[in-house]
Amino acid sequence: MMISDEARPAESWVDVVNGQQRLSPAQYQAFQQAISQVKQRLQQVLGSPLPQRQGEFDLDSFVDGLHADFLDGDAKGQEGDVGQTAWWITRYLADRLLEWQQLEQRRG
């Protein structure tokens, strides 16, 4: 007897998203905790005072330079995942801003 995809428990977040499944209460709690941890890391890194820099500001280089700050010395385990996720969110947003800037310059 075959088990349908709906009856089979999801083994990863990708399974949940691709199968358009609902989260179980435990999965929902874990997802909320993960979001909270990433938000905390974003606040921790982006809310910290930054050293003064000379010359023209370059967003692309600035975001790349934050990678080590997001990892916070621990690139392994859950803390490493939190740091990597927070950095990738920052990188994604910076890339969208840079794309928008390029479009504006072409129009200008």
Whether residue 30 is contained in a domain is answered as no
- Residue 68 located in a structural domain: yes
Number of structural domains (the chain) is: 1
- Tell me the residue range of the domain where 68 lies: 59-108
A 10 A CB-CB count for 14 gives: 9
Residue of 14 and 95 predicted with greater confidence: 95
> Is residue 6 in a domain?
no
Q: CB of 71 within 8 A of CB of 83?
A: yes
Q: How far apart are CA 36 and CA 38, in angstroms?
A: 5
Q: State percent of the chain over pLDDT 70.
A: 87
Read off the pLDDT of residues 58-100 as tens digits, 9 standing for 90 and up. 999 999 999 999 987 666 777 788 999 999 999 999 999 999 9
Task: Determine, yes or no, domain membership for 107.
Answer: yes
> Does residue 73 sit within a domain?
yes
Alpha-carbon span 14 to 31, nearest angstrom: 13
Residue 81 lies in a domain: yes
